Amino acid sequence: METIKAKKDKIRKLTGSKAMVQALEQELVRDKNIIVMGEDVGKYGGIFGSTTGLYDKFGPERIMDTPISETGFIGAAIGAAAAGLRPVVELMFVDFHGVVMDQIYNHMAKIHYMSGGNVKLPIVLLTGVGGGYSDAAQHSQTLYASFGHLPGMKVVAPTFPEDIKGMLIAAIRDDNPVVFMFHKTLQGLGWMDQLQASLGPVPEDAYTIPLNKAKVVREGKDVTIVGVQMMTIEALNAAGKLAERGIDAEVIDLRSIKPIDKETLLKSVAKTNRLVVVDEDYLSYGITAEISAIMASEGFHHLKSPIVRLAIPDVPIPYSRVLEKYVIPDAQDIINAVENMITV
Amino acid sequence: METIKAKKDKIRKLTGSKAMVQALEQELVRDKNIIVMGEDVGKYGGIFGSTTGLYDKFGPERIMDTPISETGFIGAAIGAAAAGLRPVVELMFVDFHGVVMDQIYNHMAKIHYMSGGNVKLPIVLLTGVGGGYSDAAQHSQTLYASFGHLPGMKVVAPTFPEDIKGMLIAAIRDDNPVVFMFHKTLQGLGWMDQLQASLGPVPEDAYTIPLNKAKVVREGKDVTIVGVQMMTIEALNAAGKLAERGIDAEVIDLRSIKPIDKETLLKSVAKTNRLVVVDEDYLSYGITAEISAIMASEGFHHLKSPIVRLAIPDVPIPYSRVLEKYVIPDAQDIINAVENMITV
Amino acid sequence: MKNNNKNDLLQIYRTMKTSRYFEERMEKAYLEGKQPIFNIGAGPVPGEMHLSNGQEPAAAAMIVHLTKDDTVTATHRPHHQAIAKGVDLKKMTAEIFGKKTGLGKGKGGHMHLFDPTVKFSCGGIVGAGIPHAVGAALANKKKGEDWVAVAFIGEGAANSGAFHESLNLAALWNLPFILVVEDNSWGISVAKKNSTSVPSNDIRAKAYGIKGYLVKDNDPVEMYKVSKEAVDRARNGGGPSIIEIETYRFLGHFQGDPELYRNKEEVPTLRGKDPIERLKNHLLKENLATPAEISALENKVYEVVDDAYEFAIHSEYPEPNEALEDVFC
Amino acid sequence: MKNNNKNDLLQIYRTMKTSRYFEERMEKAYLEGKQPIFNIGAGPVPGEMHLSNGQEPAAAAMIVHLTKDDTVTATHRPHHQAIAKGVDLKKMTAEIFGKKTGLGKGKGGHMHLFDPTVKFSCGGIVGAGIPHAVGAALANKKKGEDWVAVAFIGEGAANSGAFHESLNLAALWNLPFILVVEDNSWGISVAKKNSTSVPSNDIRAKAYGIKGYLVKDNDPVEMYKVSKEAVDRARNGGGPSIIEIETYRFLGHFQGDPELYRNKEEVPTLRGKDPIERLKNHLLKENLATPAEISALENKVYEVVDDAYEFAIHSEYPEPNEALEDVFC
Ligand SMILES: Cc1ncc(C[n+]2csc(CCOP(=O)(O)OP(=O)(O)O)c2C)c(N)n1
Ligand SMILES: Cc1ncc(C[n+]2csc(CCOP(=O)(O)OP(=O)(O)O)c2C)c(N)n1
Ligand SMILES: [Mg+2]
Ligand SMILES: [Mg+2]
C-alpha cells in the first residue's frame, strides 16, 4: 500500500473481483496500448468477474472475447506485446494451463532472456485458481508451484482486495510477464461462499503494491504460519483460535510465489523459531517444499523444531465434498499441527 | 537389480540407449499389446537412440512414426491404453511438454483416480532431458519437478545403463502411467560427450528394478550428496576428489523423482548429519526444495548444519558455452559446497 | 430395414426422453440447498452443472448405431451421450451426487464419468476427449475389430488445437473415427460467429481429406441417417468423418448462468422446436408408434430415472480418507 | 513495374546468395572442433544446427515484398528468413558463435534470434511462432497501420494445434497475416505423406475461409508473384492467406543427421534443380542482369558475409556471470 496518500484518497469496500475490475479500468483509461483478451471476458465480464462492465465501457476493440484457443490467443498476446501492445490475457482456470504451457514458459517467460534483453513482453496473464466448491480434479487446482518453478515470470497470488488492486496495477505497469492468480473464492462473487475476507477496503485512486513482498498479516511470537490466498485465511482463523489457547502465532501472507520474499520469512522465523507452511497446492515440490528449503538452508539456526508442511497430499482433487474437504488443509489442521509442535 | 540371478545371466556392457532398446525389444516380444509411438521413432530409431533397430524388427504397425502433434498422439496413447493397448510414447525433448501437458496431467495422470480406479492407463512416456551441449533455453531442460509436482504419475530418471533397462521394463509392466526420463548425455550416443558412466554392465535377460527406490552409489560417513542423472555423476566425481582431502561422502542416486524414497535419504543423513542436494533442474520448487523439506520436517534432528542446495539458479538455460557451464552445477561446485560445510 | 428404422427411432426417442427427464430432475436436485441464496458449492449436487436439454438428438441418433464395443468420448456436458451409450444410470447418478456407489466412487463428478464396461468417458477440458477417441479407434484397428470410436464436442471445441491434431491423425491412419460437433451456437457466452472462421465445421473435413456432413435444425431423423452412413463407412475401413449438427441449448451454459449475452427471445423460439416433441410427432404421424405405446415407453423412462435417483440419494458418501485411494493401481 | 520486378528479382537473388554463402561458411564453422570425432557440444558453434540450403526461395521471394515495419516469425531453421528480413548479419553471426556482441548477447543461439529493429524472431518449438505473428498482425491492425505479419513454418508444423488455432484467429479477426509453409518433404525423418492427411496445406485454407496458394517446385519467380498477391491483400485489409511452397532440403535435418531415412538419389536430384542457379539463369536469359553485374553482386555478398564472420569470430565471449542477467528488465 506503499503509494497511498490516505488523506486524499477515498477508500471504499470492494470485493476481490471489483478490485480487479477497478484496477483494469483505471489502467485501460491511462494507457491506450492495453487490451484485454480471453474467453468470456466481453459481455459476460469474465467467468469470475474479473472484467465485469469493461466491455460496455471500452468496447470489443479493447475487451476481446476469444475462441477456445489458448495457444492461439495467449501466443498472440506474446506477438502483440512484442509489437507494442500491453495485453492482459485471461486463462479462465489455471487447470487449463496444459493446453498453452509451451507459449507461457518457452516463449513468454524466456524471450526477454534469449533476446539478451532486447525484446520486452509486458503481459499480464490472469488466471483463476483454487477449489473448495466441488469443481473436481480439472477445475480446482492452484498449481502455484507449476508456475513458480519456471524462470522468467513473476508469479503473484494476492489474497485481500487491497492487495489485489495494487498488485494488479503493478503487474500491468511491469515490463515483464506477470502471472496474476486470483482465487475464485476470494473474488467475493455472489454465487460462491461468502467470505468476510473477500470484501475489504480499497483506495479509489490507482496505486501499486510491490510484486515481490510477503506481508505479515498478524504478528505473533510463538510460531510462524505462512499461507497464500485461502490458506492465509485459514491461517488467520487458526491463529485466532490458537490465541485463545495462549499460542501467539504470526501469520504471513506470501502474496508472491516467485520470487519468494525470503527476508520477511527469515525475519519472522528468527523471532518465532517455528514454521508451519500451508498450501492449497500439491505437497511435493510445492510451496511447502520451497519455503522449508529456504529455511533449512538459510534460516537453519533459527529453527528449533521440525518444519510442518500442510498441503494437498499428492492426490488429484476429488469431487465429493467429504473427500475434497479431507484433502484441502484448513484451520483445524493448522491448529492441530501447531499444538503438536508446541507443548504449551 | 533385485531380480537378477547372476549365475544364469549373461552380462554385457551397454550404453544407456542400447539398454533402453534392449528393454523395449524384450517387452515388445513378450507382449503384443505394446506399441511404440513418437516422432522419428521409426526408421530414425529415436533422435536419442531410444528405439534404434526396432522398426526393422517390429515394423510400422508396432513402431509408429507420428506427425508433430503431441497432443494428438499422446492423447491417442491415453485412448489406446484405455482400449487395451500398452503404449510407449516418446516426447522427444521434455522441453516440449508444454504443448501436451494438458493430456499428461489432466488426463493421463488423473483418469485412474477420477474413475475410482476403474480405468487403467498403462502408458510409458519416454522423454529426453538435460543440457550441457549448448542446445539453449528450449532444448536443455530437465523439468524433473514440473512432473514430480503433479499427482498420478510415477516419474523416474535413472542414471546407469543397468537401472535404465530394469526401470524401463518395470515401467512398461506397471499398470500406471510412468514418465521415464532419459538423460541425453547418459545415452552414450556417438555424437555427444563420451562419458564412462554411459556404458555399463547390463544383464541380458529381462529384469525389473523398482520404480520407487533411490540407490546409495557410494557409501560415506561425512556428508550425504543426493543427485540424479548427470548430477549423480558430478557427485561421484566430487566424492572421489573429496576423499583425497579426507572427506568421506555418501552419494545417493535419486532415480525416482516421484515418489521420493524418503527412507533411503533419511537413513543416510541420520548417519552423515549433513546434506547437499544437487539438481540439473531449476532451483525454486525443484528437487533441492523437496528433499530439503523432507529433511527439515522428517529428518530435522539428524541435521547438524544447514542444507546446501545446488541447482540451476532461476534463469533460462543460456546458449553460449561459458554461460551454460556457469548455471549447471558441477563437481567443483559440490566440492566447494562440501568444503565450506565441513571444517576439516 | 423399415422395421429396424422403426425400432431405432423408438430407441432414439427413448434415449432423448430419458436424457431430458434425467436432466429435469437434475436441474431440481442441483438447486436444492442453493436457495434462496445460490452457492455453487452447496446442496447435494455441488460444483458446476452443464445440462444438455435441447441437445439430445446428436447423442441419441448417433449412438443408436453403436454397440457397447464402440467407444464414445464426451465433454463437460456429457449426460445425453452417457445415457445414449448405456452408461449405468444408477452409478452415474450416484457419481453426480458424490456417492461411494458412483462410477468413480465420488471422485469424478458430473464432468468426469467413466464407464469402461460400455467404453464411455468424458472430461472437463475442451477438446481433450478427441484424441482419446482417436486412440481407441487406433486400438480397434490394431486388434482387427470393426469397432468404431466417436468423439462428441461442442462447436467451441472445434477451434482447439486438439481438434486439428486429432483429425489429421485419424485421417492419416484411416481410423474408424467420427467426430460429432454439437453446434449449440454458443461457447459459454461467445457466439459461434465470434469464435469460428467458417460457417460450419463440416467444411473443415476438407482439411483432412475426409467426409463432412451438416445436419440442420437439430433434426433427429436426419442425424440418424447421416450417422448411419458415417458409422458404416468407419466400420468398413472407409475412414473418419465429421458430422456437425445445429442443435439447441435450452438452458444456460451452466446452471446459474445469468445468460445476459443472449437475446431473451432465443430460448422460447428454440423450445418451440423441441426435438423430442418433433420426433414424437414424427413417430405418430408415420404410424411408427401409437400414443399408448409412447406413453408406456415414457412411463418406463420415468421409472428407470426415478430408480436411479432413489439409488443415488440413498447411497452412502465415501469415507473422507478414501480420498487417498485410487491414485495408483 | 517491369523495372520494379527487375530490382526485386535481383534482390531475391542477392538474398538467396547471401543465405547460401552464409550457410556454407556455417557448415564449415560448425564442423570445427567436431573432427575427427563428431561431438555436438564441441567447437566454436556447438548445439544443434539446422541449415536451409535449397530452401531459400520461400524466404527471399516473400520477404522482398516486406519492409522493416512488417513482422516475420520463423522456426528452428531461421537463417534464410533472418537474412531476407535484414537482420543485422554481424550480430546474428556473433549470436550463433555465442558471443557477447550477438543479438542475444550469446544467450539465444542459432534457434533463438531476435532482432526487434527489423521485427524478426524465431524459436525452437515447432508451430510456436505462428501465434506470435498473428499477435503482431493484431497489433498492427489495432494501431491502424498497414503493416503485415508473416509466419514461416515447415510442412511438419502444419499438423500442430498451433497452426489451427492461429489460422482460425487470423481469419476470424481478418488480420494482415500470411502463413508460408515450406514443404521440404521431411519433418526430420518423417515424410510428408506419413504426417499430413492432405497433399498440400493450401487446401487447409478452406477450413478458415481464406485464400490458399501452392507454389510448385521451389520456383522463386512464382513464389515472388504469389507472395505479392497475398501481401497486397493483407495490406489492404483483405485478410490472411496460406502459401505452401514445395522446396528442397539439400542437407540433413540438422548437421550430423545420418539421413538413413531418405533415398540416396534424392539430394543429387534436388541439387540439380538448385533454385539459385535457376534464378541466375532466368536473370541472364531475360536480360535482367549481365554476367558482370551478377558477379559484382556475388562478390559484394561474399564480402558482407565474410565481414560478419570476421566480426563474430573476433568478438568476446560473455563473462560467465552474465548468465544471471536479462531474466527480467
Ligand atoms: C481448454 C479449455 N478452455 C476453456 C474451458 C472453459 N470452458 C468450459 S466449457 C466452454 C465452452 C465450450 O463451448 P462448446 O465447445 O461449444 O461446448 P458447449 O458448452 O456449448 O456444449 C469453455 C470455454 C475449458 N473447460 N477447457
Ligand atoms: C513441439 C515440438 N515438437 C517436436 C520438435 C522437434 N522437432 C524439431 S524440428 C522438427 C521437424 C520439423 O519439421 P518441419 O516443420 O517440416 O520443418 P523442417 O525441419 O523440415 O524445416 C521436429 C519434430 C519441436 N522442436 N517442437
Ligand atoms: Mg457450444
Ligand atoms: Mg519439413
Q: How much distance in Å is there from the Cα of C178 to the middle of ligand 4?
A: 29
- pLDDT per residue over A87-133, tens digit each? 999 999 999 999 999 999 999 999 999 999 999 999 999 999 999 99
Instruction: List all chains that touch chain D, counting a touch as 3 or more CB pairs closer than 8 Å.
Output: A, B, C
- For residue D217, the distance in angstroms to the closest alpha carbon of chain A comes to 31
The answer to the question of residue C252 being in a domain is yes
For residue A70, indicate whether it is catalytic.
yes
Q: Which domain holds residue C141?
A: 54-316
pLDDT of residue A149: 98
Determine how β-strand C186-187 pairs with β-strand C190-191: antiparallel
User: What is the Å distance from ligand 4's center to B240 Cα?
Assistant: 47
Residue D4, pLDDT > 80, answer: no
Percent of chain D with pLDDT over 70: 99
Q: What is the pLDDT of residue B66?
A: 98
Looking at chain A, which residue has its C-alpha nearest residue C196? A67
> What is the per-residue DSSP string for D12-52?
HHHHHHHHHHHHHHHHHHHHTT--SS--TT-SSS-S-----
Q: What pLDDT shows up at residue A343?
A: 75
For residue A231, is pLDDT > 70? yes
What pLDDT is recorded for position A9?
73
In a domain, C171, yes or no: yes
Mean pLDDT of B78-85: 98
Chain B partners within 8 Å of D106 (Cβ): 318-320, 322-323
Return the best residue to mutate from D75, D126, D244 for the ligand 2 pocket (most ligand atoms within 8 A of CB): D126
Whether residue A174 is predicted with pLDDT greater than 70 in this model: the reply is yes
Which domains are present in chain A? 8-203 (3.40.50.970), 215-343 (3.40.50.920)
Which grid cell is B89? 510414447
Closest by alpha carbon to A128, among A201, A75, A180, A64?
Answer: A180
The DSSP symbol for C205 reads G
pLDDT given for residue D1 in this prediction = 44
Q: Please give the pLDDT value at position D71.
A: 98
Using pLDDT thresholds of 50, 70 and 90, give the confidence band for residue C156. Answer: very high
Based on the number of CB atoms within 10 Å of its own CB, is B96 exposed (0-12), middle (13-18) or buried (19 or more)? buried
Residue B284 C-alpha, separation from nearest chain C C-alpha, in angstroms: 26
ipTM confidence: 0.98
Q: What is the pLDDT of residue C250?
A: 98
Question: Are A307 and B288 within 8 A, CB to CB?
Answer: no
Q: Determine the pLDDT at residue A38.
A: 98
Shortest-distance ligand to the CA of residue C55: 1
pTM: 0.98
Centroid of ligand 1 to alpha carbon of A8 (angstroms): 45
Answer yes or no: is the C-beta of D126 below 6 A from any ligand 2 atom: yes
Query: How many Cβ atoms sit within 10 Å of the Cβ of residue A241?
Result: 15
List, in order, residues 6 or more apart from D274 with CB less than 8 Å away: D54
Ligand 1 pocket check for A119: Cβ under 6 Å: no
Is residue B187 a contact partner of residue B198, using CB atoms and an 8 Å limit? yes
Q: For chain C, how many structural domains are there in total? A: 1
Contact in structure between A121 and A108 (CB atoms under 8 Å): yes
**DSSP-assigned states of every residue in C157-202:** GGGSHHHHHHHHHHHHTT-SEEEEEEE-SEETTEEGGGT-SSS-GG
Residue B8: band (very low, low, confident or very high) from pLDDT cuts 50, 70, 90: low
Q: Is pLDDT at B218 greater than 50 in this prediction?
A: yes
Exactly one of B70, B162, B250, B280 is catalytic; name it. B70
pLDDT reading at C3 higher than 90: no
Shortest alpha-carbon distance between residue A209 and chain B (Å): 23
**Ligand 2 atom 25, closest CA:** D125
3-state secondary structure at position B287: helix
Q: What is the structure's pLDDT at B5?
A: 53
Q: Which residue of C has its CA nearest to A318?
A: C107
Task: Give the SS3 label for residue C88.
Answer: coil
Q: Cα(B39) to centroid of ligand 2, in Å?
A: 9
E-assigned strand segments in chain D: 71-73, 120-121, 149-154, 177-183, 186-187, 190-191, 211-215, 241-246
pLDDT at C49: 98
CATH number at residue C169: 3.40.50.970
Q: Residues A261-276: what's their mean pLDDT?
A: 98
Report pLDDT for B237. Answer: 98
Q: Quickly state the pLDDT bin for A306 (edges 50, 70, 90).
A: very high
AA letter at D199: P
pLDDT digits 0-9 by tens, C76-119: 999 999 999 999 999 999 999 999 999 999 999 999 999 999 99
Q: Is residue C86 part of a domain?
A: yes
Name the residues around ion ligand 3, CB cutoff 5 A: C 154-156, 184, 186-187
pLDDT digits (tens, 9 = 90+) for B180-199: 999 999 999 999 999 999 99
Residue C323 belongs to some domain of the structure: no
Is A81 in Cβ contact with D138 (below 8 Å)?
Answer: no
- D124 touching chain B per CB within 8 A: yes
Q: Which of B74, B75, B120 sits opposite C329 (nearest CB)?
A: B120
Q: Which chains touch A (3 or more CB pairs under 8 A)?
A: B, C, D
Judging by DSSP bridges, how do beta strands A124-129 and A34-38 pair with one another? unpaired
Confirm whether A139 is a catalytic residue. Answer: yes
Q: Grid coordinates in use for C278?
A: 418433433
Residue D327 maps to a domain: no
Task: Let me know if residue C15 belongs to a domain.
Answer: no
Of the candidates C125, C192, C110, C215, the residue with the CA atom closest to the CA atom of residue C163: C125
> Residues D79-108: what's their mean pLDDT?
98
H-helix or E-strand spanning residue B11: strand B11-15
Pick from A93, A101, A266, A285 the residue to mutate for testing the B interface (most B CBs within 10 Å). Answer: A285
Q: Is D292 on the interface with B (CB under 8 A)?
A: no
What residue in B sits closest to C135 (Cα-Cα)? B76
Average pLDDT over residues D299-304: 98
What is the spatial distance between Cα C208 and Cα D200, in angstroms, rounded to a whole number?
10
Closest by CA position to A286, among listed B258, D179, B39, C76 = B258
State in Å: Cα A83 to ligand 4 middle.
Answer: 28
- Chain B residues with CB within 8 Å of chain D CB: 39-40, 42-44, 47, 65-69, 71-72, 95-96, 99, 132-139, 190-194, 313-316, 318-327
Residue A216 pLDDT exceeds 70 = yes
Distance B188 CA to ligand 1 centre (A): 46
Average pLDDT taken over every residue of chain B: 96
Q: Which of B27, B39, B97, B139 is catalytic?
A: B139
- Cβ of D272 under 8 Å from any chain A Cβ? no
Distance CA B212, CA B155 (A): 9
* Average confidence (pLDDT) over B82-87: 98
Residue B50, pLDDT score: 98
Query: What integer is the mean pLDDT of B300-315?
Result: 97
D3 pLDDT above the threshold of 80: no
When pLDDT is averaged across residues A62-91 and rounded to a whole number, the result is 98
Spatial separation of the C-alpha atoms in residues D129 and D74, rounded to whole Å: 6
Residue A177 has pLDDT above 60, yes or no: yes
Q: For ligand 1, is residue C132 a contact (CB within 6 Å)?
A: no
Residue in A70, A90, A280, A324 annotated catalytic: A70
Q: Is residue D49 part of a domain?
A: no
The per-residue pLDDT for range B242-282, each reduced to its tens digit, is 999 999 999 999 999 999 999 999 999 999 999 999 999 99
Residues of A within 8 A of D161 (CB-CB) are 71
For residue C197, how far is the Cα from the chain centroid? 25
Separation in Å, CA of D80 to nearest CA in chain A? 19
Nearest chain B Cα distance for residue A23, angstroms:
30
Strands C149-154 and D186-187: unpaired
Which residues, 6 or more positions from A52, have their beta carbon under 8 angstroms from its beta carbon? Answer: A17, A18, A21, A45, A46
Instruction: Check if D124 has its Cβ closer than 6 Å to any atom of ligand 2.
Output: yes
- Give chain A as a 3 state SS string: CCCCCCCCCCEEEEEHHHHHHHHHHHHHHHCCCEEEEECCCCCCCCCCCCCCCHHHHHCCCCEEECCCCHHHHHHHHHHHHHCCCEEEEEEEEHHHHHHCHHHHHHHHCCHHHHCCCCCCCCCEEEEEECCCCCCCCCCCCCCHHHHHCCCCCEEECCCCHHHHHHHHHHHHHCCCCEEEEEEHHHHCCCCCCCCHHHEEEEECCCCCCCCCCCEEEECCCCEEEEECCHHHHHHHHHHHHHHHCCCCEEEEECCEEECCCHHHHHHHHHHHCCEEEEEEEECCCCHHHHHHHHHHHHCHHHCCCCCEEEEECCCCCCCCHHHHHHHCCCHHHHHHHHHHHCCC
Q: What is the mean pLDDT of chain D?
A: 97
Question: Contact partners of B by the rule of 3+ C-beta pairs under 8 A?
Answer: A, C, D
Q: Cα separation of C296 and B242, whole Å?
A: 86
pLDDT tens per residue across span C172-207: 999 999 999 999 999 999 999 999 999 999 999 999
Q: Minimal CA–CA distance to C78: which of C44, C40, C45, C51?
A: C51
- Spatial CB neighbours of D295, under 8 Å, sequence gap ≥ 6: none
Q: 3-class SS at D282? A: helix
Q: Give the residue on B whose Cα is nearest the Cα of D195.
A: B67
pLDDT at residue number A191: 95
Over residues B133-188, the pLDDT tens digits come to: 999 999 999 999 999 999 999 999 999 999 999 999 999 999 999 999 999 999 99
Higher pLDDT, A278 or A6: A278
Give the mean model confidence (pLDDT) for residues A169-196. 97
Taking the Cβ of residue C49 and every Cβ of chain A, the question of whether any pair is shorter than 8 Å is answered with no
Tell me the CA end-to-end span of chain B in Å, nearest whole number.
36
Task: Give the nearest partner residue to D203 out of C162, C171, C207, using CB atoms.
Answer: C207
Nearest-Cα residue of chain D relative to residue A178: D328
In a domain, C156, yes or no: yes
CA of C154 to the centre of ligand 3 (A): 5
